[in-house]
Structure 1
Amino acid sequence: MPSPDSARPAPDSDDPAPHAADAASAVPEVSEVSEAARPEPVIPDAASAAEPPKSPTRRRTIAGVVVLGLLILVVAATAWVGIRGLQARDALEAAIPLASTIQDEILAGDGAQAAQTAADLAEFAAIARSRTSDPIWRGYEFLPFLGPNLTAVRELATVVDDVAQNAVTPLAGLAGTLDLNAFKPVDGSIALQPLLDAQSSVDQADTALARAVEDVTAIDTDNVLAVVRDAVTRLQSVTEQTASSLDAMDRAVTLLPAMLGGAAPRDYILLFQNLAELRATGGIPGALALVHTDQGSVELTQQATAEDFDPFAAPVLPLGDDTTLIYGDITGEYIQNVTLTPDFARTGALAREMWRLQFGLEANGVLSIDPVALSYLLDATGPITLATGDELNADNAVSLLLHDVYARYDDLKQQDIFFAAAAGAVFDAVKSGRADPTKLISALARAGAEHRVLVWNADETEQAVLADTTLAGDRPFSDDSTNRFGLYINDLSGAKMDFYLDVETAIGQQTCRTDRRPQYTLEVTVTNTAPADAATSLPVYVTGRGISGVPLGNIKTMVSAYGVPTMYNLGVTRDGVDAEHVPATDASYPVTSLVFELAPGESTVLHFDWLGTGPFTGDLALRSTPLITLHETEKLDLSC
C-alpha cells in the first residue's frame, strides 16, 4: 500500500497547493514529537538576513568586470611602456651622436658650445633613463620576446646617462674654462699649470668612459630586435672611439708635466727614423738630437748623425738569445741598427747607452719620429723655409727628405745634416707656437695611431703610464676580443731603395680540424716599384752602390711575422711554395723570418700560418712597420 507521501503531487505540478486535509494530516501533533527530537532553531546572522544569496548570473557579471578591469590595466600598462619606450628611443637617438660632437668641439677650442652640447646630452640622457626605470617597465622585462628588448634599452639608457654625468660634464666644464691655446708653446715654453689643472677632470672622465665601454659591451643583444641591436652597436662604437681618445689625453696630462721638466730638468734623445732604409719600428736613425726640458721650456741642445757613432765591438747591453737569433748582435753594436727589433723599449735602452758612451750624458729617455709624421706636423705649422732656401711643406716633405736629398748630395754626412736641419726646423716651428693647436693635436694623434711617434722613459713608473699604447712601441698585444699579429720589415740592401717598396696585407682564419682549432694566415704582397732602369737612373746612394752585394735597383728584405704567443708556428710559403725560413720565438711570440730579394717591378706573395689553441670568434688585427704608404689590412677569405 502506498504511503501517504507517494500520493502527494509534486511542488511543480499543475495543482497550485496541497489539499488542506492532506496538509493537516502531514503535520504531527505537538505531543507526538519528543523534546529530544526537536531541532535547534537556526538563527541567521545579520549579513545573511540582509543579503539574499548571489545568483550565478551576478557572479559572472562581477568576474567579467574584474577581467575587464585587468584587461584595461594591461592595455594601459602596455601603452605606458610603449609611449615611454618611444620617448626613450627619441632621447637616445638624440643623445648618442652628441658624445662625438662634444669631442670635436673641445678639440676645436669651442668651450661654450661644448658646454651647451653637454647640457643637451645630459638632458636627453636623463629623459631616456627616467623613461626606462619605473616599476612597470621593469616588470615587463620578464615577458618573453619583449623583455630582452626592454632590458637592453634600459641598460643602454643607463650607459648614456653615466657617460653624460661622469664623463661629458667634467670635460665640458674643463673646456669651458680652458683654451687650447693654453697648451701652445710661447717663446719655447709650454705652460704646465693648465696640464695639472686638467688632470682631475680628465681622469674622472677617462674612468667613466672605460666603465661605459665595459657596460655597453655587456648588454645582451642575442634576442633583441635589429633596431635595438643597432643602437647598442652604435653606442659601443662611439664609446670605444671616445674612450680611446680620452685615454690618450689622460696619459698625456699625467705624463707631460714630468717629461717637460716640471719637477726637475730632463734630457731626451730624439731619433729621426729614415723610412727609405726600413727597420722594424720605422727606419735607420740617420739623424739624432738631444732635447732638454726645464719647467716647460723645450730646447734642442745637440744634434748628431749616425756618422758620429763608431761601431761598438760588442752589444752595448745584453740582447737576449731571442733578439740575437732573429736580428743579430749588430742590433746593439750600430746606432743605425737599434731599431731592428720591434721592441722600442729595447731600442730606447740601446740608444741611451750608446749616447752615454759616445757623449757622456745619460738621458732620461728616447723619442722617435719619422718624415711622414713631420709632414703631418707641417700641416699644423704651415710651410717652412730651410737654410738651403728649400720650402718644406706637408706635400713635399716625404719626397724631399727620403728621395730628392740623395740626388742633391753625394756625401752621406751632408745628407744626414740636411735631414737633421729639416727636422730641427719643424721642431723650432712647433716650439715657437706657429702650429695651430687643433691641427697639432690631430697631427700627433694620427702619427701616434700609425706608430710614427714612439716614447721610452727610463723611469719604469712613468713608462708604465704608456703601457699598451701605440706610443710605447711594444709587440702586438692580444686580448679575448682580438688576436693581433705583427709584421716587421728590415732592409738588408744597405741602400735607400725602400722608398720604392710597396707592401699590402690581408689576414684571415679558417677552422677545418675536428678539434676546432683554427688556422690563421697572414698574406703579405711585396713589390719593388722602382723603374726598370733604376740601376742607372737613380742616385748611386739610393741604389746602395752594391756595397752589400745586392745588384743595383734590387731590394733585399727580411720580413718577420709575429703570431699570438699561444699559437703554434706552421711556417711560410712564398708564391705557393714552402719557403726556407728561420722559425724562432721572441718573448713567447712565435716568429717566422724570411729573407728575399726583388728586382725592379718584381713582386712576391708570402703566406705566414699559425695554428690556434682553441675556437676563436673575435677580430683579427695587424701591427706593422710604419711604411711611407700604408694600406689598410684586408680580410683574407679562406676555405678548407
Structure 2
Amino acid sequence: MSDLPESRRTTARQGSGPRVVLWIVLAIVLLVLAAVVWVGVRGLLAKQHLERSVSLVDTLKTQVTAGNSDAAKRTAEQLQDNAGSARSLTGDPVWGAAQYTPFFGTNLRAVRQVAVVVDDVATGAVRPVARVIVDLNAQAFAPKNGRINLQPLVDAQPAVARATKTLTRADVAAERIDTTSTLSPVTAAVNRLRNALSSVSQQAATANKVVQLAPAMLGHDGDRNYLLLFQNNAELRAGGGIPGAVALLQARDGAISLGDQAAGSSFGPYDEPVLPLSTDTESLYGNITGRYMQDVNLTPRFDVTGALAREMWKQKFGQQVDGVLAIDPVTLSYILRATGPVRLATGDTMTSSNAVKLLLSDVYAKYPDPKVQDAFFASAASAVFDKVSTGGFDTKKLVVALTEGTADGRLRLWSADSGEQQQIAGSAIAGTLPSASKETREFGVYLNDGTGSKMDYYLDKKVAVGGSVCRKDGRPTSVVEVTLKNTAPADAASSLPEYVTGGGALGTQPGNIKTLVAVYAPSNAIYFGASQDGKAASLQTTMDGDHPVAQLRTVLGPGQTTTFRVAFLGEAKYASASVQATSTPGVRQSETQPLQFDCARPVPVG
C-alpha cells in the first residue's frame, strides 16, 4: 500500500500516460529516422552501384568494338555484380515500406524499378551474350579458303534470342516507370535508361534476326541460290536504279560464289506480267512492272520486286531461286573502302573514290555499245565480289560499308521463304513502305526516271519534312517537300553521249530530265493538298494498298529546279510522334532536313 497521499497517487497516475505517449512517439520518430538513415545509406550505395554499372557498360562497348573478348566477359561479370547489388539494396522490407510514404515514395519506387531493370538486362542480356562473344568477333566471319564458318552464329542463336527478349521486356518496364512526381535527378536517370533501352533493344532485334537467319540463308542447312540485281542509279527506279545486270549468287555452307550472269535488258518484254499485279501497282506504275526485268523495281515494294525478278529468272533459265538481293554502285564504292582497289578485265582500276563516276558516267563515253556497258557493270561487281568472297578485305570496314548501304536504302533483300521473309519484313533491308507509331510518322519519297536515259547521274534531290498539330481534332499535319535540280551542263544535248541523254527517243528533249515523284504517307493518313513552285500542283492522288500516294511528273532542263510540297493529315494518336522521310537513293544522297511551315498555309499557293 502506497504511503503517498491519495492526491499525489492520482497525480502520478495522470502523469504516467503522457510519458508513455511521449516514449511511443519518440520510439516512432527514432524508427522513422532509422528507416530514413537506412534507406538513405542503402540508396547512396545503390546509386554508386548503378553509376558503376553505367561506367561498365561504356567499358564493355569499347572492349566489344576492339574485339577484346576476355576483357568483355570480365566486365560483364562486374556489371552483373553491381546491378545485382543495386537491386538487393533497394529490395529489403524497409525500402519496400518507404515506397508508400508521401512524396519520397514515388522516387524510391522509381529507383527500385531502375535497379530491377538494370539487373534484368545485366543478367538476362549482357551475361548470356558475353559468354559467346569470344566466337562472334569480326574476324571470325572473314572467309577462309572462300568459306565463312557459320557454326559460331548457330551456337550464339539461343543466347542472342534470350538477350533480345530480355531487352524488349526491359524496354517496356522502363516505359512504365511513373515519373510524374519524381525529383529531377530521378526523372533524368529514368529518361536516360529509356533512351538507352529503346536504342539497344532495336539494335538487338536486328542482330537477332541476322543471327537467326544468316546460317540458313548462307547454306548451312542446304544449298541456297539467290538472284543479285545490280541497280544503276543513273536511271532511277523507286527501289534504287534500273537493274542493268543480274547474276546468280550461290551459297553452300558459308561458301559464296557467282554463277550465271545476264543483262537486265535480256529479260522480256513479256506479253503479260509474269505474276499478277495489284490494281494499285498497275495504276501507279503500269503493267510494264511485271513485263520487263528493268522495271520490276518501279514499285518501292521490294517484296513485289523480288517475286517478279525471281519469276523472270525462272522463265528464262528454268531455275527457281530462294531470294533476291539488290545492290548499287554507291554501295560498291563503300565496299571498296574495305577491299582496296580492284583491277578490272578492261585494264581499269576501280577505287572507292572513282567507282561511282566510272560506273555511272565514264563508262558511257568510253564504251558506246549498251551490251558492253552492261558487261562492264557486271564485271566490276564481280571483281569486288571475288575479293570479298576470298577474304581480301578489312572486316570492320566491310561491316560499316554494308550497314551504310542498308541505311541508305541501297541494299535490299527478299526471301521466297515466307517464314524468313516475315522476319526480314520491317527491317531496314526489307524495303517496306512507311508506317506510323507513337515514336515516328514515316513518309516515303520515290523517284522513277521517265526519260529512258542515264541522265539521273545529274539529278540532285533534297527532301525536307515537318509536322505540327494545326487542328482542334488533334490530327497532325505533316508536310513533305521535295526539291529536284538538273545539274547537267548547259550543252548537255550535244556534249553528252546519246545513250545518256536518251536522244529524244521517248519524247524528252535531249539534256532534259523527266522524273515521276511519288510521295507515300503511312496507312490511314489522308491527303490534304499539294503545290509545285508555289502554284497548285497537277498530280495523281491514289492509294497503294492502304497508303495514300501523291504522284506528279516533272521535266527539268539543264540548270532548272522545282520544289514540290505535299501535305497529309495523320491520326491523332500519333500526334506527338516525330516525322521522318526516306527516299530513293540516287547517285548523291543528302540527309532529310527538318521543315517548318505555317499551319494556315502548309502548301502555299500563290
Residue matched to 2:322: 364
The alpha-carbon deviation at position 351 of structure 1 amounts to 0.5
- Verify: 1:496 aligned to 2:447, yes or no: no
* Structure number, greater radius of gyration: 1
Aligned to 1:35: none
Count of residue pairs brought into register by the alignment: 594
Please, which of 209, 215, 226 is the counterpart of residue 167 of structure 2? 209
**Is structure 2 residue 79 aligned with structure 1 residue 121?**
yes
2: distance between equivalents of 1:428 and 1:97? 42
Q: Which residue is 1:326 aligned to? A: 284
The answer to whether the Cα contact below 8 Å between 1:273 and 1:368 also exists between their aligned partners in 2 is yes
Secondary structure of 1:552's counterpart equals: coil
Checking the alignment, whether the CA contact within 8 Å between 2:343 and 2:349 is kept in structure 1 is yes
Q: Which residue identity lines up with residue 638 of structure 1 in the other structure?
A: F
SS at match of 1:187: coil
1:578 and 2:536 matched: yes
Instruction: Assess if the C-alpha contact under 8 Å between 1:322 and 1:586 holds in 2.
Output: yes
Return the offset for 1:177.
4.5
Offset of residue 210 of structure 1: 1.6
Could you say which residue in structure 2 is the equivalent of 1:158? 116
Of residues 169, 177, 185 in structure 2, which corresponds to 1:227?
185
The answer as to whether partners of 1:523 and 1:607 remain within 8 angstroms in 2 is yes
Question: What is the CA–CA distance in structure 2 between the aligned matches of 1:87 and 1:158, rounded to whole Å?
Answer: 15
Correspondence for 1:628:
587
Do the aligned partners of 1:106 and 1:172 also contact (CA within 8 Å) in 2?
no
SS at match of 1:463: helix
Alignment of 1:76-115 (within 5 A): 76-96=34-54, 98-99=56-57, 101-103=59-61, 105-115=63-73
Are the structure 2 counterparts of residues 113 and 612 from structure 1 closer, same or farther at C-alpha, using a change threshold of 3 Å? same
Q: Deviations over 1:295-343 (max 9, x none)?
A: 2221101111123224222211111100000011111111111010011
Assess, with a 3 A threshold, how the Cα gap between structure 1 residues 105 and 407 changes in structure 2: closer, same or farther: farther
The structure-2 alpha-carbon separation of the partners of 1:215 and 1:190, relative to structure 1 and needing over 3 Å to count, comes to: same
**Structure 2 CA distance for partners of 1:158 and 1:358, relative to 1, 3 Å:** same
Task: Please report how far the alpha carbon of residue 100 of structure 1 lies from its aligned counterpart in structure 2 after TM superposition.
Answer: 5.6
Partner Cα separation in structure 2 for residue 257 and residue 593 of structure 1 = 41
Deviation larger for 80-89 or 255-264:
80-89
CA apart distance, 1:200: 1.2
Distance 1:195 1:94, change over 3 A: same
- Structure 2 vs 1, CA of residues 432 and 451 (structure 1 numbering), >3 Å: closer, same or farther? same
1:423 aligns with 2:365: no
Asked if the contact 2:433/2:444 (under 8 Å) is kept, the reply is yes
Query: Gaps (5+ residues) in structure 2?
Result: 600-606
Contact 2:435 2:523 survives alignment (8 Å): no
1:391 to 349, 358, 370: 349
Contact conserved, 1:344 with 1:474, CA < 8 A, in 2?
yes
**Distance in 1 of aligned mates of 2:473 and 2:236:** 41
Deviation at 1:222, TM superposition (A): 2.7
In the TM superposition, residue 58 of structure 1 has moved relative to its aligned partner by 4.7
User: Which residue matches 2:527?
Assistant: 569
Instruction: Give TM-score scaled by structure 1 length.
Output: 0.88
Q: How does 1:574-613 map to 2 (within 5 A)?
A: 574-613=532-571
**Aligned CA distance change for structure 1 residues 114 and 569 (closer, same or farther; 3 Å):** same
Matched, 1:187 2:130: no
Shift of 1:401: 1.7
In 2: Cα distance, 1:425 partner to 1:400 partner = 14
Separation in 2, partners of 1:435, 1:359: 33
Gaps of 5+ in 1: 1-42
- C-alpha deviations, 1:212-270, integer Å up to 9, x for none? 22222222233223322322222223223322232222212221222222222221100
* 1:350 aligned residue (301, 305, 308): 308
Aligned with 2:510: secondary structure? coil
Percent of paired sites with the same residue? 46
- Residues 94 and 578 from structure 1, CA distance in 2 versus in 1: closer, same or farther, beyond 3 angstroms? farther
CA shift, 1:593, in A, is: 0.7
Q: CA deviation at 1:164?
A: 0.6
Counterpart CA distance in 2 for 1:526 and 1:84 is 61
Query: 1:446 aligned to 2:404?
Result: yes
Counterpart residue identity of residue 626, structure 1: P
Question: Is 1:171 paired with 2:95?
Answer: no
Shift of residue 68, structure 1, vs aligned partner: 3.2
Distance 1:570 1:188, change over 3 A: same
Q: Structure 1 pair 544/220, CA: closer, same or farther in 2 (3 Å)?
A: farther
Deviation at 1:588, TM superposition (A): 0.9
Question: Is 2:88 the counterpart of 1:130?
Answer: yes
Structure 1 position 97, deviation (Å): 5.3
CA distance in 1 between partners of 2:361 and 2:344 (Å): 17
Are 1:264 and 2:225 matched, yes or no? no
Structure 2 residue 33 is the aligned partner of structure 1 residue 63: no
Cα displacement string for residues 74-132 of structure 1 (whole angstroms, at most 9, x for unaligned residues)? 23322332333333333323323544653553354321121122122212212222222
Distance change >3 Å, CA 542–CA 94, structure 1 → 2 = farther
Alignment of 1:230-241 (within 5 A): 230-241=188-199
Greater CA deviation, 266-275 or 243-252?
A: 243-252
Aligned to 1:637: 596
1:617 aligns with 2:576: yes
Tell me: CA distance 1:502–1:224, structure 2 relative to 1, closer, same or farther (3 Å).
farther
CA distance in 1, matches of 2:347, 2:301: 38
RMSD value, Cα: 2.3
Q: Establish whether residue 75 from structure 1 lines up as the match of residue 24 from structure 2.
A: no
The one-character-per-residue Cα deviations of 1:7-59 (angstroms, maximum 9, x if unpaired) are xxxxxxxxxxxxxxxxxxxxxxxxxxxxxxxxxxxx99xxx9xx876355554
Question: Within 2, Cα distance between the matches of 1:427 and 1:249?
Answer: 24
Q: Matched residues in 2 for 1:403 and 1:84: separation?
A: 68
Q: Distance in 1 between matches of 2:219 and 2:135?
A: 25
Within the candidate set 296, 307, 314, 2:272 is matched to 314
Q: Do 1:504 and 1:631's aligned partners in 2 also have CA atoms closer than 8 Å?
A: yes
Question: Partners in 1 of 2:56 and 2:367 — Cα distance?
Answer: 53
Query: How far does residue 203 in structure 1 lie from its aligned partner after superposition?
Result: 1.1
SS in 2 for 1:469: coil
Q: Distance in 1 between the 2:535 and 2:86 partners? A: 59
Q: 1:146 to 1:499 in 2, by over 3 A?
A: farther
Q: 1:545 aligns with which of 503, 523, 526?
A: 503
| 2:582–2:592 contact (8 Å) kept in structure 1 | no
- Give CA-to-partner distance per residue, 1:173-204, whole Å, 9 cap, x none: 10135543332212222222222111111111
Question: What letter corresponds to residue 250 of structure 2 in structure 1?
Answer: H
Range 588-597 or range 140-149, more displaced: 140-149
The TM-score with structure 2 as length reference comes to: 0.92
How much has 1:565 moved relative to structure 2? Answer: 1.3
For residues 99 and 541 of structure 1, the distance between their equivalents in structure 2, rounded to whole angstroms, comes to 56
Distance 1:104 1:440 in 2: 19
- Determine the C-alpha separation between the residues in 2 that align with 1:294 and 1:431: 12
SS at match of 1:116: helix
Find the residue that maps to 2:585 and give its secondary structure.
coil
Pairwise CA distance, 1:492: 0.8
In structure 1, distance between residues paired with 2:404 and 2:12: 83
One-letter identity of the residue aligned with 1:436: D
| Deviates most, 84-93 or 276-285 | 84-93
Instruction: Report the Cα distance in structure 2 between the residues aligned to 1:259 and 1:393, rounded to whole angstroms.
Output: 30
Going from structure 1 to structure 2, the CA distance change for 1:494 and 1:160 (only over 3 Å counts) comes to same
Taking the aligned partners of 1:111 and 1:479, their CA distance within structure 2 comes to: 37
User: Structure 2 vs 1, CA of residues 252 and 78 (structure 1 numbering), >3 Å: closer, same or farther?
Assistant: same
Alignment pair present for 1:458 and 2:416: yes
Q: Cα gap change, 1:173/1:271 in structure 2, threshold over 3 Å: closer, same or farther?
A: same
Paired residue secondary structure (1:514): coil
Query: How many angstroms does 1:546 deviate by?
Result: 2.3
